[in-house]
Structure 1
């Protein structure tokens, strides 16, 4: 395919077979080997300590759908899963990942000594800056630690977690190249900054000549109380300058020379006009460009060039996420990371969810080079010279390619994926001048290659399959990274230090230091190769699961000392009820092992239940009790569904009620017979007030065997048992339905409610259910000739029009539950009487209050407080229009 030069860069490498800017090794273009394999014989342990394990608790990852009710077939109440699940992203995002999105290990090389300073976060909350020195001596590296054998620590002055570290090495400052005595006891080898969620801390790394040990001194810090820190970086042009980007898009410039040591730093806020800023976009990173006052700033949807050279700042767009739609059609596509790139400071690299781009600030909206990277969530990106990865070689055949080529190391630390993307100019091979060219014919060198940073994993087919199978074997709420030793940070030693450590490689290589999740610092040599190493089966490591150790959870020296007992519940009754087959299930059970309920007479329970039923108008002979007797139990507001349920409970024979209510001693006896490992059984206590079962609004039962508790058997089961007792042994076909029985009783209650209650919303609301019985001559309903002492009403939340009951507005309506009935207290005399008991509260509420507490007389001080509260309550009621309207409808008048 013949394409013009300006269109070649729009075809990403790896997206298809067509990649005009992809070059491969050939006699005319000797690129050399671009694969890097770890040398297993070079692996060595530098330092290890259990105290260096990451201080992280990884919570189980559970999808929101696990917490949402969803039943099949649909239940009476609607499922909220369909309306809520869409609000959550389906992308796997674990709360444990953010602390591991960035590299945790950084290195500062001494300018004129074979030393290297390793820095990393540590402490109980990763709030300290830890460091130690590597010294090359006797053909190997030696670690310099404190007197206790631990790393040195520098405090940030806060307890917040260090999220990122950035180093700024000093080339020749502070060192003269000799060991002569100097006025300065400590010489600066570099600067570094550490960022937390809301603060930035600046440090100077020095080497104390007298103590011959490293030191890291805090120069100052800056707190951002109103907005979190998104990114901070050093200037490559001016040693002491750095810039900080907040998540709001604000930029601050800091200069170490202008800041007072020991005090909070005061940076210069850069007035950048973000005209198209949006709260839904995420600010990612910032970097210096070719000029000290030109910045490249990345947001999740765009990359901007910020020019601060003039008085008025100018902002221009360098790249938009929309330009990637052809090869990244996902609507959730966004930029993830930004980095300076080579060959000079005009270039930068930016990565999105699918594509890696190499861009030039002089060519906005036109990428220089693109790759489809295929890495899940890449957030780490570093640009290196190819000569840094192919140093110390015995052959010079590819020296020209090594000196002119560059590599982008891209990957995800949390997902343990890293690839190397090589690129460079072809003009170097043609010996043409490139001084006048903006884009010196930059092309991709070979396809991206994977690099294994762990250094000791086998890539044969058997090991790869075993690794994937072990991931699938884990529960869905555990990430495999929590069970495997992963690389949390790494750094590459300078060529000078690496050359003194090992013999030259055939095609060169590099030396890597890694920090693992088990607290180990390892050093290993990688060599450039033409093919990726694949171990033979007999050379594979031990055939064990690779996910066998829990590493990222907090560890403890003490073992769990308490016995682990597991109790399993058999939910076959609940499953039968949910599937609509409770009747058939119970009938089969009863036919197999049916026992008369009168096997054991429990006098205490029998007497208590009879007492409560008699108080509510249900005597021992309850063949045809009056329906209106159920309403005598309605004191507090109750839905008509609750009234119907009480009616059904009151109709149950005494022997079945005694099955549902037990003493606590009997509960323990039943549980002990079922399970030798006694389990705690908590039920609600039967109240002392005269009420009908199932006894609403109760307290938890005290741990005393004298209390009556219950119900311990669900009402649907009791209803089926009652039908079976009354000669319904042939119900195995499932004709009897609990829902149908409850619906019939509900209609009966609605009929009576229409006669004994006044409606607060007009006479037409109950047309579908209530039938006037005033003309029925067969039965005279109690209370029909008296003034109605009950009020029917609907709560304000249910007073919606029919058009509001739609799925889009998530409004659910059921007439069985939205109609309430309340007892209207009788009018009392207005004569002044001394109020000493709970009756003093009756004139404050249209609801008849009931107290399950002993009667106490109010003292004078209590009466004074009551009068004050009563005046305040009355004032509020007078100003509340809805309450006044309700009082008029319910005929409640305050005294």
Structure 2
């Protein structure tokens, strides 16, 4: 059954399994026509073009406290709490989130026609109240930056005396329409004023000139957004905080250049009274639609189409925060960012706290595509053609997809989180057939692959060491200082076209793009990005994670007068285990302690006897490394748990008593000049495989008291099993080859041993799998297949695909007990105990319950739920595929 496009678009990508509007991008698929959709920064390609104080923001931004003002005063000054509360009340509400101050791109590019130059504009000056610019050109495959003769950036003569919020440029498609020397238009707006310029070609010097055209000051209301018309370059609109919209046409003043005009503009007669809105609703922005007299105006709770082709504006709601249904909470969610998408003027993109939506003005209140973005307060959206991001490709296999595809960049300059969302029309497969009936409709779009991360700064690293280091660095500033203010942030960026990009290298098989970025440290950089199938997680040598004073924070470390306390843990055993030389470290420790005087035995012999009994009752076979058996498997068990049990079975009684003991044998340790009792989990009474994942935590604090007495329960393991097995080999005098075996190699050998046993006692998943080099393919053992076996095997071995490729095979391979189909068939249909659950799942279900029989009411409810559950199983394709591949009969 095929459904229409509107039904499919109701399910956001990343929220449901098998999203109906998702086309996978997989290199292993024979009919994949999309190509790689992940873009990684090339290591070593980051190059500094210019470093200047004129590029850095002014160092006047105060650190916004994360604490309440009263708490901030009480922790930084000798102000009593009562006085701090009064001071806080006099200042009113707390300061706002700093993220809105970083909502706009501070770097804007304007291409010079008929040349290989591009002009980069940005705010500059002591208060960011001037327009600065420089010229970028590509010569002989290298970027050249042209600046002034004084060694500084070019500046406009006009100063605004207020900080520039945003700069917006608009190129002139046909320069002959106006003056032949004109390159484009530029507007810059502050909180209460807008200023217009025309950009002219330079004379003999070749330096562009910014010619001031006029300005407009709004005295009673602040400015939210301003934009240019893509069809008529002289038209621009300004949206105010109260919802008023002003239209400005520069055509009548272009021939009066040189005079400063106080532009009045035309206020559109837009009546918002009939559009219901909450008190917290805020205006986000506006863009021109497909007609120069039709606007798309976005609010935090709705989006409107404003048609002012007639004297009275016509307003129509085309999107609201509740149109996503159950996937968005209309009470708490809101739109955070808005942008025009594509060049047709019909599509636009919206980002809320949870979703990214692609909408069409021709389909009101019905998103074309939806994604669950997973970003923290995104406030910036930009759109690119896929051909721009995959330019200079060395092969034309995916050229068709590059021409038709689009990419939406969503993120936050403040939070340093960015994701790329690719989409486009459905493409024909290798046989030329379309994937659905709507593939031929031009306005139908599919998500091309899942969203991917984009490291905009080129400094992020996905390795565990770098992530851990970054988390520690985030805690280094004082508590009231955001860590972002100590980091070198990306304040502006631009992606150059293929004709201005640096030439692709030999390893850019699928193409890429060149990114120019402006850092908060005052550096202008460029870096090459390459299209790839996967995100590169390897550690980059040129990544610098150190936080610095970059002008966004004026707090000096010496001003922090409170003492800092650090606790250091000596993890020498863990470090040696990860390095593969745990055996040598254990040997050195044994030699060192053997020369010390012997201490009195701390274990009580009577306690030893009691502990041995408890261990045996828990399923241990003390000191008997017998053949591996799966008989005690009662619930789905990983290969790692089986290996852990095998190791414990081979340990001596003395070592087991080190790993498992009672609370009465543990002494209190000294921590911060206080004695604290150690806490461990109690070993369950029922027979389980180590590491006892199904046990419950104990209920007590870290101090024994008269009310909570010291327990005699068996607890542990208090020492890791790999350490115990290594200690066993060292003390047992094993061969050097065995002792010096690395933990990784040892685990691979043990994994192979368990898998060999599993092939004899368990039927296996016969589906295709990219086996690890340490794994043993069960599909290669043709004599042990299910079809050739004359009797059912009691266990089942399968691979959990969702773990791949993040987990070791010992964690992703599991063994489960299979339900005995013959036993089920012989059972009476009048069963009323726990055995009624045996026929709803092919895996044997074990219960730690004393429930014997169910009543008629419980059985009636069970039969209803069972019918619904079985119906769900029949319609769930992954489950049926699982049964088919594993040859399990239901």
Distance 1:59 1:155, change over 3 A: farther
1:169–1:191 Cα contact (<8 Å) kept: yes
2:191–2:222 Cα contact (<8 Å) kept: yes
* CA distance in 2 between partners of 1:171 and 1:502 (Å): 32
Equivalences for residues 322-721 of structure 1 within 5 A: 322-324=322-324, 326-329=326-329, 331-342=331-342, 344-427=344-427, 440-498=443-501, 505-536=508-539, 540=541, 546-553=546-553
Distance 1:359 1:144, change over 3 A: same
SS where residue 51 of structure 1 aligns? coil
For 2:68, which of 49, 64, 68 is the aligned residue? 64
* CA distance in 2 between partners of 1:124 and 1:501 (Å): 39
Q: C-alpha displacement at 1:303, in angstroms?
A: 0.3
* CA distance in 2 between partners of 1:446 and 1:45 (Å): 33
1:200–1:221 Cα contact (<8 Å) kept: yes
TM-score, length-normalised on structure 1?
0.56
Q: C-alpha displacement at 1:297, in angstroms?
A: 0.2
* CA distance in 1 between partners of 2:106 and 2:343 (Å): 26
Equivalences for residues 787-798 of structure 1 within 5 A: none
2:392–2:503 Cα contact (<8 Å) kept: no
* CA distance in 1 between partners of 2:285 and 2:81 (Å): 51
Q: C-alpha displacement at 1:349, in angstroms?
A: 0.7
1:485–1:518 Cα contact (<8 Å) kept: yes
* CA distance in 1 between partners of 2:34 and 2:262 (Å): 51
Aligned to 2:666: none
| Residue 98 in structure 1 maps to residue 103 in structure 2 | no
1:406–1:422 Cα contact (<8 Å) kept: yes
* CA distance in 2 between partners of 1:445 and 1:114 (Å): 33
Aligned to 1:150: 152
Aligned to 1:297: 297
SS where residue 495 of structure 1 aligns? coil
* CA distance in 2 between partners of 1:5 and 1:228 (Å): 41
| Residue 242 in structure 1 maps to residue 240 in structure 2 | no
* CA distance in 1 between partners of 2:492 and 2:479 (Å): 26
1:61–1:94 Cα contact (<8 Å) kept: no
2:357–2:371 Cα contact (<8 Å) kept: yes
1:132–1:214 Cα contact (<8 Å) kept: no
Equivalences for residues 818-829 of structure 1 within 5 A: none
SS where residue 474 of structure 2 aligns? helix
* CA distance in 2 between partners of 1:68 and 1:489 (Å): 32
Aligned to 2:860: none
1:40–1:456 Cα contact (<8 Å) kept: no
* CA distance in 2 between partners of 1:564 and 1:313 (Å): 58
Aligned to 1:194: 188
Q: C-alpha displacement at 1:100, in angstroms?
A: 1.6
Q: C-alpha displacement at 1:550, in angstroms?
A: 4.7
For 2:48, which of 45, 70, 95 is the aligned residue? 45
Distance 1:504 1:306, change over 3 A: farther
* CA distance in 1 between partners of 2:283 and 2:376 (Å): 20
Q: C-alpha displacement at 1:468, in angstroms?
A: 1.6
* CA distance in 1 between partners of 2:303 and 2:413 (Å): 24
Q: C-alpha displacement at 1:42, in angstroms?
A: 2.3
* CA distance in 2 between partners of 1:323 and 1:135 (Å): 46
SS where residue 421 of structure 1 aligns? strand
Q: C-alpha displacement at 1:250, in angstroms?
A: 0.5
1:393–1:504 Cα contact (<8 Å) kept: no
Q: C-alpha displacement at 1:308, in angstroms?
A: 1.3
1:287–1:339 Cα contact (<8 Å) kept: yes
* CA distance in 2 between partners of 1:68 and 1:502 (Å): 53
For 2:143, which of 141, 150, 157 is the aligned residue? 141
* CA distance in 2 between partners of 1:243 and 1:371 (Å): 30
SS where residue 409 of structure 2 aligns? strand
2:165–2:189 Cα contact (<8 Å) kept: yes
For 1:224, which of 218, 229, 232 is the aligned residue? 218
What per-residue deviation string (whole Å, max 9, x for no partner) do you get for residues 825-856 of structure 1? Answer: xxxxxxxxxxxxxxxxxxxxxxxxxxxxxxxx
| Residue 159 in structure 1 maps to residue 126 in structure 2 | no
Q: C-alpha displacement at 1:486, in angstroms?
A: 1.1
1:394–1:504 Cα contact (<8 Å) kept: no
* CA distance in 2 between partners of 1:540 and 1:57 (Å): 32
Distance 1:77 1:347, change over 3 A: closer
2:368–2:444 Cα contact (<8 Å) kept: no
In angstroms, what is the RMSD of aligned CA positions? 3.5
What per-residue deviation string (whole Å, max 9, x for no partner) do you get for residues 344-403 of structure 1? Answer: 211111111211100011110000000111111211111110000000010100001100
Aligned to 2:315: 315
* CA distance in 2 between partners of 1:356 and 1:285 (Å): 16
Equivalences for residues 197-208 of structure 1 within 5 A: 197-208=191-202
What per-residue deviation string (whole Å, max 9, x for no partner) do you get for residues 467-521 of structure 1? Answer: 1222134332111111111111100112111166867831010001000011000
* CA distance in 2 between partners of 1:330 and 1:465 (Å): 36
2:392–2:504 Cα contact (<8 Å) kept: no
Distance 1:100 1:565, change over 3 A: closer
1:69–1:80 Cα contact (<8 Å) kept: no
2:404–2:425 Cα contact (<8 Å) kept: yes
Distance 1:159 1:565, change over 3 A: closer
* CA distance in 1 between partners of 2:137 and 2:84 (Å): 65
What per-residue deviation string (whole Å, max 9, x for no partner) do you get for residues 123-146 of structure 1? Answer: 111000000111222332221111
Distance 1:395 1:265, change over 3 A: same
1:458–1:541 Cα contact (<8 Å) kept: no
Q: C-alpha displacement at 1:299, in angstroms?
A: 0.6
* CA distance in 2 between partners of 1:502 and 1:66 (Å): 57
Q: C-alpha displacement at 1:434, in angstroms?
A: 12
Q: C-alpha displacement at 1:323, in angstroms?
A: 2.1
SS where residue 475 of structure 2 aligns? helix
* CA distance in 2 between partners of 1:475 and 1:149 (Å): 37
In structure 1, list runs of 5 or more residues that go unmatched: 176-182, 569-895
- Decide which moves more: 328-337 or 312-321: 328-337
Equivalences for residues 119-138 of structure 1 within 5 A: 119-138=121-140
Aligned to 1:212: 206
In structure 2, list runs of 5 or more residues that go unmatched: 564-890
Q: C-alpha displacement at 1:104, in angstroms?
A: 0.5
Q: C-alpha displacement at 1:327, in angstroms?
A: 1.5
Q: C-alpha displacement at 1:554, in angstroms?
A: 5.5
* CA distance in 2 between partners of 1:396 and 1:268 (Å): 50
Q: C-alpha displacement at 1:174, in angstroms?
A: 5.3
Aligned to 1:265: 263
* CA distance in 1 between partners of 2:234 and 2:550 (Å): 43
SS where residue 521 of structure 2 aligns? coil
Aligned residues: 544
2:112–2:118 Cα contact (<8 Å) kept: yes
SS where residue 327 of structure 2 aligns? coil
* CA distance in 1 between partners of 2:160 and 2:525 (Å): 30
For 2:117, which of 115, 131, 136 is the aligned residue? 115
What per-residue deviation string (whole Å, max 9, x for no partner) do you get for residues 535-577 of structure 1? Answer: 25xx6458x863244542369xxx99xx989799xxxxxxxxx
Distance 1:167 1:33, change over 3 A: same
